[in-house]
Amino acid sequence: MSSEQLTLKGNINHSVVFWCFNIAGECWDMEKTCEVARSLGCKSIEISEPEDWPTLKKHGLICALAPNGMPGAPFVKGLNNRAYHDEVKAATRRMIDACAEYGFPNVIAFTGYKWKDAEDPNSGEISLEEGADNCVEALRELATYAEEKGVTICLEHLNTRDDTHPMKGHPGYQGDDIDYVAGIVRRVGSPRVKLLFDIYHVQLMNGDVMRRLEQNIDVIGHVHTAGNPGRCELDENQEINFPPILRKLVELGYTGYVGHEFIPTRDPLEGLRQAVELCDV
pLDDT of residue 3: 52
Query: Is-contact 115 176, C-beta < 8 A?
Result: no
Q: What backbone phi and psi angles, to 5 degrees, belong to 106?
A: -135, 150
Asked, for residue 8, whether it belongs to a domain, the answer is no
Whether pLDDT at 52 is above 60: yes
Asked, for residue 6, whether it belongs to a domain, the answer is no
Lowest model confidence (mean pLDDT) among 24-38, 108-122, 171-185, 229-243: 24-38
Three-class secondary structure of residue 207 per DSSP: coil
4 in catalytic set = no
pLDDT in tens, 132-165: 999 999 999 999 999 999 999 999 999 999 999 9
pLDDT in tens, 6-28: 899 999 999 999 999 998 666 99
Single-letter amino acid, residue 64: A
261 in catalytic set = yes
Cα distances from 126 to residues 111, 112, 117, 185, in angstroms, run 11, 11, 10, 19
Asked, for residue 5, whether it belongs to a domain, the answer is no
pLDDT of residue 230: 97
The pTM of the full predicted model, rounded to 2 decimals, is: 0.97
Whether pLDDT at 2 is above 50: no
**pLDDT tier at 198 (50, 70, 90 boundaries)?**
very high
Instruction: Let me know how many helices (H) and strands (E) the chain has, helices first.
Output: 10, 7
Measured distance CA(224)–CA(198) in Å, rounded: 4
Structural Rg of the chain based on CA atoms: 18
Lowest model confidence (mean pLDDT) among 17-26, 171-180, 186-195: 17-26
**pLDDT tier at 5 (50, 70, 90 boundaries)?**
confident
How many structural domains comprise the chain? 1
Query: Is-contact 89 129, C-beta < 8 A?
Result: no
Measured distance CA(175)–CA(172) in Å, rounded: 9
Asked, for residue 1, whether it belongs to a domain, the answer is no
Asked, for residue 175, whether it belongs to a domain, the answer is yes
Select which of 4, 130, 156, 236 is catalytic.
156
Single-letter amino acid, residue 158: L
pLDDT of residue 122: 98
Average of per-residue pLDDT values in the chain: 96
What's the whole-number mean pLDDT along residues 80-95? 98
Asked, for residue 220, whether it belongs to a domain, the answer is yes
pLDDT of residue 86: 98
Select which of 130, 261, 270, 277 is catalytic.
261
Whether pLDDT at 33 is above 80: yes
- Here the CATH number for the domain that contains residue 127 is 3.20.20.150
pLDDT of residue 23: 85
pLDDT of residue 1: 40
pLDDT of residue 155: 99
Asked, for residue 2, whether it belongs to a domain, the answer is no
What is the DSSP secondary structure assignment for residue 4, as one 8-state letter? Answer: P
**pLDDT tier at 48 (50, 70, 90 boundaries)?**
very high
Of 81, 12, 26, residue with least CA distance to 258: 12
Measured distance CA(119)–CA(9) in Å, rounded: 44
Give the contacts of 2 (CB within 8 A, at least 6 positions apart).
273
pLDDT in tens, 257-269: 999 999 999 999 9
Asked, for residue 7, whether it belongs to a domain, the answer is no
Cα distances from 244 to residues 1, 158, 235, 255, in angstroms, run 25, 22, 15, 16
Domain that holds residue 225: 13-279
* HSE value, Cβ hemisphere, 13 Å, CA-based, for 277: 14
